[in-house]
Amino acid sequence: MAAVDSFSLLLRELGRSCNCYIETLAFIGAFYTVKTCFNVLNGTYTLIRLHFIPRLVSRADLVKLYGKWAIVTGCTSGVGKSYAKELASRGVNIVLISLDKAKMEALAKEIADSYRVETAVIVADFSKGRGAYPAIEKALAGKEIGILVNNAGVFYACPDYFTNLTEDKVWDLINVNIGAVNMMVHMVLPGMVQRKKGAIINVSSVFCCQPTPKITAYSASKAYLDHFSRALHYEYAPQGIFVQSLIPFYISTDVTKFSDAPSKSSYFAPSADEFAHHAITTLGISRRTTGYWPHSIMLMFGQYLPDWLWARGLNRIFSSFHEK
């Protein structure tokens, strides 16, 4: 009996000694729960403020806010083409910069006829490095560039291991995804600063948020754009310049043609036109956004995934494309 009493006493003493640890763990758990709930509520508020309220008020006068002309790179298809049309529908003159002259001229005519704005076409191959920019700078002389949309980008033909990329592909990813953005910003930003107004939209990707295998170099280049955009905004916001990092999830474009699923327009994979129509309403409001409210919901919950789970999931998805 004494042994039983001693054991019960021991348990009580152990319980008392553990109480402080249990209370500490309970406090940590409560703090984490409150923090998570606050983040979800804040994300919901941001979602409403960013994606719904602007659509209930009159459209912003982009010409008055930023300037008469907008540059759109990578504009012959997909998001760039749709962004050019959206900007033109708001009275902004459009400079189209891409490699395919015939497609740009057709788009320029379509925009001019539909929206009664001025257009200009500049043929440039960003993959060639710094040699592309003197001609661009000369062609832009005298134009009040108020908005720059850096959309030109290179993706993989199909997700693959980094060492399977050709040397040319690696340089294309560097010259187009990173180099073109830096040089275009460096070219037009002084004029914006002089006028004390302007907007720069750098089209990144949700793949910038987590390390993503099988598109390693692409993911890293988009992470560069995201950090570049955010830092640039802190540098130049006091001088009246708005810099936005656009980080969408899947959009139904030719870029995703290696997979049947993402290339079909759906609620969570909108067409380029639908995406641009949503995204342009966030200009001047959010420095970092997906541009499309269902994508914002996905990001709000996806950001809590540990990077190993994100990497493992995407690795499995991308590996399946090779099996088809």
Under a CB-based contact definition with an 8 Å cutoff, are residues 265 and 252 in contact? yes
Sequence-separated (6 or more) residues with CB below 8 Å from residue 85: 111, 114, 115, 273, 276
pLDDT at 264 over 90: no
- Per-residue burial over 166-196, b if 16 or more Cβ lie within 10 Å, else e, is eeebebbbbbbbbbbbebbbebbbeebeebe
Tens of pLDDT along 167-197?
Answer: 999 999 999 999 999 999 999 999 999 999 9
Other C-beta atoms lying within 10 Å of the C-beta of residue 294: 17
- Give the pLDDT score at 32: 65
Under a CB-based contact definition with an 8 Å cutoff, are residues 151 and 75 in contact? yes
Tens of pLDDT along 104-151?
Answer: 999 999 999 999 999 999 999 999 999 999 999 999 998 999 999 999
In three-state secondary structure terms, 24 is: helix
**Selection from 228, 262, 73, 265 nearest residue 159 by Cα:** 262
**DSSP conformation class of 264:** S
- Give the pLDDT score at 300: 74
Amino acid at 15: G
**DSSP conformation class of 160:** -
- Give the pLDDT score at 307: 80
Clarify whether 267 is annotated catalytic: no
In order, the DSSP letters of 195-236 are HT-EEEEEE--GGGSS--TTSHHHHHHHHHHHHHHHHHHHHH
- Give the pLDDT score at 19: 65
Residue 159 structure tokens:
């997700």
Q: How far is CA 63 from CA 195, 283, 312, in A?
A: 13, 13, 45
70 vs 48, more confident: 70
Under a CB-based contact definition with an 8 Å cutoff, are residues 188 and 95 in contact? no
Q: How far is CA 178 from CA 57, 122, 261, 282, 285, in A?
A: 36, 20, 28, 23, 25
Which position among 218, 236, 250, 292 bears the catalytic label?
A: 218
Where do the domains of the chain lie, and which CATH numbers do they carry?
62-323 (3.40.50.720)
